[in-house]
Amino acid sequence: MGQVLEGHEGNPIGADEENRMKTFSTILTEDHYAAMDADAYTMDIDGITPDSADYWLAVIKNTDDDPMVVTSVTLWVNEFSDIAIVEAFLGSTFTYTDNGTVVTPTNLKSGVTGGADGEFYVNDGSGNITTIVAGSVAGRFIFTTTPLKWEKGSGWVVPKNQTFMLQVGSSKKFTGYISFYYHRS
């Protein structure tokens, strides 16, 4: 039968029948700590309609010394289509041409502005943002008219001077955001 021992400041410590201590713990993720340290962000994608399929919807280039971890992409389209596919690319290099709008990511800690190190663009609907040296497709997802969150358990990791890019398979109107943080050593 389990027993109760006296713990710190009179709080009881429980043990089971095999004298294993009972514990209670809270696990907080790295992105939680990054948000608490004002190092987590969202990048807004505000009703963007690329004028052609296979154009870039959003481009992030990490210029911070520490890796950027993209944790999720939340998007929806104005009308459903089975070609409302979004592909995530890693390792591409890009040269900004035009047809993009600079975005300033929002810090996820209230009262803190700025702080994201990188280049952040969304398509402005009048052409393609960039010319690229192709990287690797790091996933595909079909979005609907209901907001969907596309998450990677380990996140997409973007080292310094590397990119995370979203390419769309249709010229639908996309709305949503990209969530990311910096992995500090």
Task: Give the chain's domains with CATH numbers.
Answer: 27-182 (2.60.120)
Mean pLDDT by 10 residues, the chain (185 residues): 54 78 70 73 92 87 95 89 83 78 93 91 83 77 86 89 90 92 89
Task: Report the pLDDT value the prediction gives residue 164, as an integer from 0 to 100.
Answer: 94
- Give the residue among 53, 79, 166, 62 at the shortest CA–CA distance from 118: 62
Q: Is the pTM of this model over 0.75?
A: yes
Q: What is the pLDDT of residue 37?
A: 74
What integer pLDDT is reported at residue 39 of this predicted model? 84
Beta strand ranges found along the chain (DSSP E): 4-6, 12-14, 40-48, 56-62, 68-77, 85-90, 93-96, 100-102, 106-107, 118-123, 130-133, 136-142, 148-158, 163-168, 174-182
Return the number of other C-beta atoms located less than 10 Å from residue 5's C-beta.
9
